[in-house]
Amino acid sequence: MILKIRQVGELVLRQKSRPLSFEEIASRSVRNLIESMRETMYDAPGVGLAAPQVGVPLQLVVIEDTLEAIQRLSPEQAAERERRPVPLQVLINPILTRAEGAAEFFEGCLSVAGYTAIVPRANKVHVEALNQNAEPVIIDAEGWYARILQHEIDHLSGVLYIDRMNPRSFATQDNYLRIWRDKSIPEVIRTVSGDLK
């Protein structure tokens, strides 16, 4: 079932989500929620979706970055972002325990529909979570995969990318595609900073 994606301004996106118990993870309702979130992420389309984005304040995310999505970028853009396919993952009660390095790229969100901005993120992360079978999962990710994990885990704390963005880079998706898509991030930052430097 395709679920309604909540938009910025709705309280559930600003609340801390609660962890799931082992009993809840095994429940039919959580299994149905995971399947509906997966379908909703594909339909949007997106590379990640957190339960609060569909109105459920639980520590649950689904992630998948497909080859088809990556191929919409130029080879240079995909390489610059260190973007590689990530198979479907369900992460429950994820904890980001280490973040290293730094990278800035334009980032969007299904809950801030139609907009994008440059967001600084760690380039490498270590995440510990449970999967849909309540089994421990350890992830060491880098590049775009690390960015997706940080973005989705932020949702579980009520944090949106607009809280972390370079505010002067905030743009509509249309203007990003028209003006900024083929520019380097340092060039965009220099341009939008203008007289501030």
Q: What are the extents of the domains in the chain?
A: 11-102+123-163
**Coil, strand or helix: which one is 142?**
strand
HSE-CB at 56 with a 13 A cutoff on CA atoms is 19
Q: Does domain 11-102+123-163 have CATH number 3.40.30.160?
A: no
Q: What is the pLDDT along the chain (197 residues), one digit of tens a residue?
A: 999 999 999 999 999 999 999 999 999 999 999 999 999 999 999 999 999 999 999 999 999 999 999 999 889 989 999 999 999 999 999 999 999 999 999 999 999 999 999 999 999 999 999 999 999 999 999 999 999 999 999 999 999 999 999 999 999 999 999 999 989 999 999 999 875 54
In this prediction the pTM is: 0.95
Write out the catalytic residue numbers. Answer: 152
Residue that the structure tokens 């949007």 belong to? 44
